[in-house]
Amino acid sequence: MEKQTLISLYATELPGHETDDNACNDIFHENTETEYRLAIRAAAEQVSGFLKNTKKPFSGIKPATLLEEFEDISLDNPLPDYKSLFDEVNALYIKHATAFHLPQYIAHLNCPVVIPALAAEVIISAINSSQDTYDQSAGGTFIERRLIDWTGQQIGYNEQCDGVFTGGGSQSNLMGLLLARDYYALTYLNHNIKLQGHPANANKFRIFVSEKAHFSNHKNASLMGLGEQSIVKIATDERFRMDAALLEQAIQLEIEQGNIPIAIVGTAGTTDFGNIDPLQEIGRIAERYNLWFHIDAAYGCGLLLSEKYRYLLNGIEQADSVTIDYHKSFFQPISSSAFLVKNKLHLNIIRHHADYLNPKEQDYDELPAQINKSITQSTRRFDALKLWFTLRLMGKQKLGQYTDRIIDTTEQAACLIESSNHFDLLSHSDLGVLVFRYVPQLVPAIDVCAMNLYIKQTMFFNGEVLVASTRVNGQFYLKFTILNPLTTIKHIQNILTIIKKHGKDYEQRRHTPAHSGTN
Q: Which string of DSSP letters, residue by residue, matches 160-228? A: T-EEEEES-HHHHHHHHHHHHHHHHHHHHS---HHHH---TTGGGEEEEEETTS-THHHHHHHHTTS-G
pLDDT number for residue 348: 87
Confidence band of 11 (pLDDT split at 50, 70, 90): low
The answer on pLDDT for 519 being more than 50 is no
Give me the numbers of helices (H) and strands (E) for the chain, helices first please.
Answer: 16, 12
The answer on pLDDT for 377 being more than 90 is no
- CA dist 138 and 397 (Å) reads 29
Instruction: Work out the mean pLDDT of the chain and round it to a whole number.
Output: 91
Give tens-digit pLDDT for 420-466.
Answer: 999 999 999 999 999 999 998 777 767 899 999 999 999 999 999 99
For 513, other C-beta atoms within 10 Å of its C-beta total 7
169 closest CA partner among 16, 7, 300? 300
- CA dist 276 and 407 (Å) reads 13
The answer on pLDDT for 518 being more than 80 is no
Q: Residue 252 in contact with residue 261, Cβ under 8 Å?
A: no
Confidence band of 138 (pLDDT split at 50, 70, 90): confident
Q: Residue 28 in contact with residue 126, Cβ under 8 Å?
A: yes
SS3 letters across 384-406: HHHHHHHHHHCCHHHHHHHHHHH
At what angle are helices 384-393 and 396-419 packed, to 10 degrees? Answer: 90
The answer on pLDDT for 16 being more than 60 is no
Of 166-170, 311-315, 328-332, 364-368, the poorest mean pLDDT is in 364-368
pLDDT number for residue 21: 47
The answer on pLDDT for 1 being more than 50 is no
The HSE-up count of residue 382 (CA atoms within 13 Å, CB side) is 24
**Mean pLDDT, residues 357-368 taken together:** 64
Strand 292-297 and strand 337-341: the pairing is unpaired
Give tens-digit pLDDT for 218-263.
Answer: 999 999 999 999 999 999 999 999 999 999 999 999 999 999 999 9
Collect all residues with Cβ–Cβ distance below 8 Å to 453 and sequence separation of at least 6. Answer: 469, 476
pLDDT number for residue 136: 83
CATH class of 3-99: mainly alpha
Give tens-digit pLDDT for 267-284.
Answer: 999 999 999 999 999 999
pLDDT number for residue 353: 60
The HSE-up count of residue 440 (CA atoms within 13 Å, CB side) is 15
Collect all residues with Cβ–Cβ distance below 8 Å to 396 and sequence separation of at least 6. Answer: 305
Q: Residue 299 in contact with residue 431, Cβ under 8 Å?
A: yes
> What letter does residue 236 receive in the DSSP assignment?
B
Stronger pLDDT, 364 or 380, i.e. the higher one? 380
The answer on pLDDT for 397 being more than 50 is yes
The answer on pLDDT for 58 being more than 80 is yes
pLDDT number for residue 373: 77
SS3 letters across 266-314: EEECCCCCCCECCHHHHHHHHHHCCCEEEEEECCHHHHHHCCCCHHHHC
Stronger pLDDT, 384 or 379, i.e. the higher one? 384
Give tens-digit pLDDT for 483-513.
Answer: 999 999 999 999 999 999 999 999 888 777 6
pLDDT number for residue 6: 53
SS3 letters across 48-68: HHHHHHCCCCCCCCCHHHHHH
The answer on pLDDT for 140 being more than 70 is yes
- CA dist 206 and 254 (Å) reads 8
Confidence band of 132 (pLDDT split at 50, 70, 90): confident
pLDDT number for residue 2: 45
17 closest CA partner among 70, 75, 90, 69? 75
Strand order of the sheet with strand 475-481? 105-106, 466-472, 475-481, 433-438, 423-425
**Mean pLDDT, residues 387-408 taken together:** 98
Give tens-digit pLDDT for 283-327.
Answer: 999 999 999 999 999 999 999 999 999 999 999 999 999 999 999
- CA dist 128 and 77 (Å) reads 27
The answer on pLDDT for 340 being more than 90 is yes
Of 104-113, 129-138, 398-407, the poorest mean pLDDT is in 129-138
